[in-house]
Amino acid sequence: MNLIAVCPGCGAKNRIPSDKEHLSSKCGRCGAPLKDAPCSGRVNPLTDNGFQQQVERCPLPVLVDFYSPTCGPCRTIAPLIEAIAHRYAGRLMVFKIDTSSQQRQAGRFNIRGVPTLLFFKGGELIDQMVGAAPQEEIERMIGRVL
């Protein structure tokens, strides 16, 4: 399986074989190191400061999971979000943002309960889902942004 790393410098999509993910990779377009670049195929941590660069400028559709580490339903759907990240590798970027420590984006998007899933395409918010939903419902929403 290939991971897709999005270059933080130029935004180019770079294919990285999963068995070589541990090696030092560089962007094929600009040569910037991809060490801390978000990758499609896994759940990536997200901060308030990285939101614009990593979500709004991402060339792939994006799923953002707003969660809290003390939230039971958030812990329940965490394995499902991981599985979705693997299943849609190369087609969807998945991020998690902790609302207890990263509150600016939660306020910006009026997040009142967790888990809340936001779906973006081309930097625009397309849809959202509040609460722990079944896999089929989440995948239906993903189908709208792909």
Give the residue numbers marked as catalytic. Answer: 71, 74
C-beta neighbour count of 134 within 10 angstroms: 10
Sign of CA dihedral 142, 88, 120, 144: negative
Whether the CB-CB separation of 92 and 60 falls below 8 Å is answered with yes
Phi, psi of 110, rounded to the nearest 5 degrees: 55, 45
Across the strands, what pairs with 132?
none
**Residue 72 tokens, joined:** 């039971």
Cis peptide before 115 (omega within 30 of 0): yes
Q: Whose CA is closest to 117, among 69, 70, 77? A: 77
